[in-house]
């Protein structure tokens, strides 16, 4: 197999200044995809009242997006490799804009749920195209570190930015603008992509692995759907158990088929590599804790402390700033000289420490003393973690596999977020119920006890999140053994699957 020279895969020479403008377009598209997973969270109560969505069905505004996104990402990554990255990037942006407009104009709950699922499907095409374009455009260790620093900051802070944007749009316009806002952003990115991203050829002779797509996507959808349904139904509900069992069985069949398929959807050498496999698992575990925390802190700030949507969004700004600083000013500067695990493991330890601080919240905590320190520490930790995880997981991949490798990173993020929301929400709900069962009878101030029970549930779930963060750090320390990029050649590295022997 020949190795693609620097910049050839993207059509931009590594001295061409347009590649930094291309980074702006790629980052803008990725930010839109990531923040859309959370931008409607704060607007959800308004959308529920407007469309008459029941309490039992309101979760689909969130899960319809994450299910489609996580379930179709591997397919989207392979499509990017087969058709061409710029083509799928532009098509994903255009489809995402149309789906967003449909969601903003929704007249019924079903229309909104369908639009959110369509957004997730196009995001599954767009996200791996964006990351593989970044991977093939920036190959020098120093520039690659800075580019992935920007990308990692967006990946880590996009969810928090979405919460802030959702608060602003809901308070000053209405909930529909949380979806409409994607239309002009996507249009700008389409124009920029057409101008700045040269059209690269796809692998036209390859064929799509349809059985692999059905098994892999079906397994992920069943698994994520099962975790989503665990919160309202309980972990022992027959439907939940059936979905989880079906998900595991389908994913097992997917792995079996990938080892035999002539042109597999996910070549197993991608996940057999120890560094990449470690990064995929580390990302999944880290996001389990992070997304669960977003859910609890949003409800805690609005319901318990009585913050407005805007004030809630502003409360996340320090977290966002810390992620950006940690990713662009610390990880990006150190990664060319430091082994990735020496950034990832301390980052996850800091993140776990921030979550431990947040377990001290009460029904009347002060933001500056009880909440702010934990959010800042968590942000720095995530900033240190995300950038080297993304860079390492997509390093030294053959150009023909860059799209699917990128998709696997994003799949880890989306599946981890879905699992974290369902798992930790179930922990919080059951803990609050147990607390109320022992404290509410005979209480003189029942309303206060109810609030204390809710906060107790949040703190127990945050403790679980901190433990999962520590587990992610252990996984990274044991599996991610890659050396600092600057210790190797400054030329494009030979893909691991192309090395002799």
Highest mean pLDDT among 72-81, 213-222, 366-375: 366-375
Q: pLDDT confidence of 45, banded at 50, 70, 90?
A: confident
How much is the pLDDT for 289? Answer: 82
Strand, coil or helix: 263: coil
Residue 489 has pLDDT above 90, yes or no: no
pTM: 0.75
Highest mean pLDDT among 215-219, 298-302, 344-348: 344-348
Highest mean pLDDT among 67-71, 128-132, 265-269, 447-451: 447-451
- Token pair, residue 444, equals 């003189």
Shortest CA distance to 337 belongs to which of 135, 492, 145, 134? 145
Task: Give the mean pLDDT of 228-247.
Answer: 83
d(CA 257, CA 490): 37
Strand, coil or helix: 1: coil
Pick 206 or 30 by higher pLDDT: 30
Q: pLDDT confidence of 206, banded at 50, 70, 90?
A: low
Over residues 382-435, the pLDDT tens digits come to 989 988 888 888 777 676 666 667 777 777 877 787 777 777 877 887 888 888
Highest mean pLDDT among 105-114, 268-277, 290-299: 105-114
Q: Which residues contact 12 (CB under 8 A, 6 or more apart)?
A: 18, 19, 22, 137, 198
d(CA 405, CA 420): 23
Q: Which residues contact 124 (CB under 8 A, 6 or more apart)?
A: 68, 69, 70, 71, 72, 73, 75, 76, 407
Over residues 477-488, the pLDDT tens digits come to 999 887 776 554
Q: Which residues contact 240 (CB under 8 A, 6 or more apart)?
A: 226, 229, 230, 233, 234
Average pLDDT over all residues of the chain: 79
């Amino acid at each position: 197999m020949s190795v693609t020279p620097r910049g050839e895969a993207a059509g931009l020479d590594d001295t061409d200044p347009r590649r930094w403008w291309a980074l702006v377009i790629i980052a803008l598209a990725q930010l839109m995809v990531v923040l859309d997973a959370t931008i409607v969270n704060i607007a959800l109560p308004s959308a529920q009242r407007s469309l008459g969505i029941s309490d039992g069905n309101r979760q689909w505004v969130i899960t319809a997006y994450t299910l489609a996104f996580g379930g179709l990402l591997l397919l989207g990554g392979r499509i990017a490799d087969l058709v061409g990255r710029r083509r799928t990037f532009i098509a994903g942006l255009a489809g995402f804009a149309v789906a967003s407009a449909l969601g903003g104009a929704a007249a019924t709950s079903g229309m909104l749920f369908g639009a959110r699922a369509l957004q997730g499907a196009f995001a599954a095409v767009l996200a791996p195209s964006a990351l593989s374009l970044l991977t093939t455009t920036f190959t020098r260790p120093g520039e690659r570190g800075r580019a992935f620093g920007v990308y990692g900051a967006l990946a880590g802070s996009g969810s928090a930015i979405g919460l802030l944007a959702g608060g602003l749009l809901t308070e000053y316009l209405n909930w529909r603008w949380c979806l409409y806002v994607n239309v002009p952003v996507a249009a700008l990115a389409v124009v920029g992509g057409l101008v700045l991203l040269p059209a690269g050829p796809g692998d036209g002779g390859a064929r799509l692995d349809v059985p692999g797509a059905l098994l892999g996507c079906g397994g992920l959808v069943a698994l994520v759907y099962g975790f989503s349904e665990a919160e309202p139904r309980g972990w022992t509900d027959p439907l939940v158990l059936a979905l989880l069992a079906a998900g595991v069985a389908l994913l097992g069949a997917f792995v079996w088929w990938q080892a035999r398929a002539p042109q597999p959807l996910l070549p197993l050498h991608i996940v057999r590599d120890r560094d990449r496999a470690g990064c995929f698992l580390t990302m999944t575990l880290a996001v389990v804790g992070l997304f669960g925390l977003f859910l609890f802190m949003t409800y805690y700030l609005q319901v318990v402390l009585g913050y407005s949507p805007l004030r809630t969004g502003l409360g996340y700004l320090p977290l966002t700033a810390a992620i950006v600083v940690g990713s662009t000013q610390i990880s990006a500067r150190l990664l060319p000289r430091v082994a990735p695990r020496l950034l990832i493991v301390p980052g996850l330890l800091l993140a776990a420490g921030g979550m431990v601080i947040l377990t001290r919240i009460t029904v009347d905590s002060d933001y500056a003393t009880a909440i702010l320190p934990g959010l800042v520490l968590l942000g720095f930790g995530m900033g240190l973690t995300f950038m080297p995880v993304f860079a390492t997981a997509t390093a030294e991949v053959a150009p023909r596999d860059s799209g699917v490798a990128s998709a696997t990173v994003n799949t880890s993020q989306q599946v981890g977020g879905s699992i974290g929301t369902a798992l930790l929400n179930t922990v919080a709900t059951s803990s609050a119920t147990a607390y109320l069962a022992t404290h509410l009878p005979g209480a003189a101030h029942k309303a206060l006890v109810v609030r204390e029970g809710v906060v107790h549930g949040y703190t127990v779930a945050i403790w679980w999140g901190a433990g999962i963060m520590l587990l992610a750090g252990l996984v990274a320390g044991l599996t991610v053994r890659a050396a600092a990029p600057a210790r190797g050649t400054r030329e494009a590295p030979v893909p691991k699957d192309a090395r002799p022997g």
